[in-house]
Amino acid sequence: MRVLITGGAGFIGSYLADALVHEGHFVRILDNLTPQVHRGRIPSYLNREAEFMHADVCDREAMTTALDGVNAVAHLAAAVGVAQSNYEVQRYVESNCLGTAVLFDLLIKQGHHPRIVIPGSMVCYGEGLYKRSDEDLVRPSIRTKAQIEKSGWEPICPETGEPLAPIPTPESAAQNIGSIYALTKFDQERMGTNLGKLHSIPVTVLRFFNVYGPRQSLSNPYTGVTAIFLARIKNAQPPVVYEDGRQTRDFISVHDAVRAIRLALECEKQPTDCFNVGSGQPTEIGELARTMASACNSAIEPRITREFRAGDIRHCFADMTRIRDVLGFTPKISLKEGIEELIKWAETEEAIDLYHQAEAELRRIGIL
């Protein structure tokens, strides 16, 4: 294959580049080296055997050059962060929506039909799937502060008022948009699948759950929760956990995420489709913070704020049936193994704790 990886200097993209180069594929990376993640510098880990272009996905001329001669595109370039997206709206929409529009506009005008992989996101589901005691399935709406004050942290059935039990969320579940980031990922997904079908461009959407691992920026307070917790612990500060710490998320190692992308890129006969990419296992956020502190040989306890961050969901974890049956994918790396790898890598990495800066912004905007 000849593969273009947009956002290829980033967390997931750089590992994908390593894997594809190792397998003998031609790899071209396009990345704008956004200061929030890279501080404008090419990261030391970037594979030197890959061709590198310092450019933005919204730059039509650069993207025209980047697409020349490739037969596959992993479109990973994106602004990432749920809370931040709600007050940096233009940047998120331009990077995620306009960048994807430029990609497809060029492909359509050129009559170019490479296989495309687009990362979707579990945030588009909103709350996950639940069931009542009578086994009826329920999709509660995203909680409000008023609902929590009345009924507690856990979603309740809107019809009966009874407690609900979270169960794996399948791809068929309706998407419930609760942030600008979720809106842009939904837009990317629908743009890709609709245009792919219309113009016979093979498009696969991978709805990633919480991807974690080495190379995730430890100094970006808007990145994944594992990196944010680790930055706090490395600076002898307690990880900050909202609500009561019992909310759950589904964590998947970056190495498993990359393997899913490779399977999607290599499956030439796969029609346009969407797949969950997670572990299928829920993990409590408060327990994750304690586990990470213990693995760092730290006695630090998380600070459980009992505050609600507007738009946050309570539970969502992946139903992995479709990707297992169609692409043959199952995750291989346990959370314990993945966290141990992340912590070992972080021993020699700089971690500037900017949590209070991000928290102050959330309070100023009224999200906290």
What's the rounded Cα separation, in Å, for the pair 68 and 4? 9
| Contact yes or no for 233/296 (Cβ under 8 A) | yes
DSSP E strand stretches across 51-125: 51-54, 72-75, 115-121
Residue listed under structure tokens 């980047």: 66
355 tagged catalytic: no
Main-chain phi, psi angles of 171, to 5 degrees: -65, -25
Residues in the chain: 368
Q: What does each C-alpha distance from 329 to 7, 101, 202, 361 come to in angstroms?
A: 24, 29, 19, 39
| Contact yes or no for 102/190 (Cβ under 8 A) | no
| Dihedral angle of Cα 150, 155, 159, 165, to the nearest 10 degrees | -140
Q: What does each C-alpha distance from 252 to 12, 209, 259, 294, 330 come to in angstroms?
A: 12, 7, 11, 20, 11
List the catalytic residue out of 15, 92, 125, 181: 181
| Contact yes or no for 107/113 (Cβ under 8 A) | yes
What's the rounded Cα separation, in Å, for the pair 127 and 210? 15
> 3-state DSSP call for residue 85?
helix
Active site residues per annotation:
181
